[in-house]
Structure 1
Amino acid sequence: MVLADDRILEYLYEEERGAPTDMVKSGFVRYSNSYVSQRLKKLESHGLVQNLGRGLYTITDRGKKYLNGELNTSEDAPDEVNTQMDSGPSAGENHEQA
């Protein structure tokens, strides 16, 4: 993830959808159309945005989670963390016959 990605996702969160040209014209995303297009393809490959066709994109629920700090997008981090800890067998499962 690079700074442009955050700006793109923030734009799509606020506007609900947009094309690279819209983002650049708004002044909110201050990069070239071609660079924004390139980053949108990368964000789409990670499930953060969805291509609606004809160059129009929208943010996904996954993209919203990223913006809210609920998703770590680093290469080595899992998307979801299992919060249940295995504490071994319960007392009812540990039966031994004498």
Structure 2
Amino acid sequence: MRRSGSWQSVWDDRILEAIEVDEDGVMSVGDLTENDYIRISNSQISDRCKKLAEHGLLKKVGHGVYMITEEGSAYLREEYDVQQGRFINQDQVEDDSTGVSERSDT
């Protein structure tokens, strides 16, 4: 299960997924607006990309152009906790699924 931040919207996952599958992991707001998977306005996409960049899931590389970061890719793979701002190791994922509260730092 993806661990999103309290500030995230459903569109954030779709934006990240669209950029992740792009050939070079870089897309403009205009390209995202034309994507049928994302059904919000150009200005809303721009706002969401800015917010994702503020939280390290995207990186702004030009005017209205963003690339996905390692954190953004890890979040999509369920390996990054956005709310905590940290990568999740496999032991934590297994512990969480069994309800065990102790964590392994190895």
Do Structure 1 and Structure 2 share a fold, with TM-score over 0.5?
yes
Deviation at 1:78, TM superposition (A): 5.2
Structure number with the bigger relative contact order (C-alpha 8 A, sep ≥ 6) is: 2
Query: Gaps (5+ residues) in structure 2?
Result: 1-7, 89-102
| Percentage of pairs with the same residue | 34
Distance 2:64 2:9 in 1: 21
Where do 1:55-94 residues align within 5 Å?
55-74=64-83, 77=84, 79-80=86-87, 83-84=104-105
Who is 1:5 aligned against?
12
Who is 1:40 aligned against?
49
Q: Which amino acid aligns with 1:51?
A: K
Distance 2:13 2:42 in 1: 16
User: Which has the greater radius of gyration?
Assistant: 1
TM-score, normalised with respect to structure 2 = 0.71
Deviation at 1:27, TM superposition (A): 1.1
Q: Which amino acid aligns with 1:84?
A: D
Structure with the larger strand share: 2
TM-score, normalised with respect to structure 1 = 0.76
Moved over 3 A (4+): none
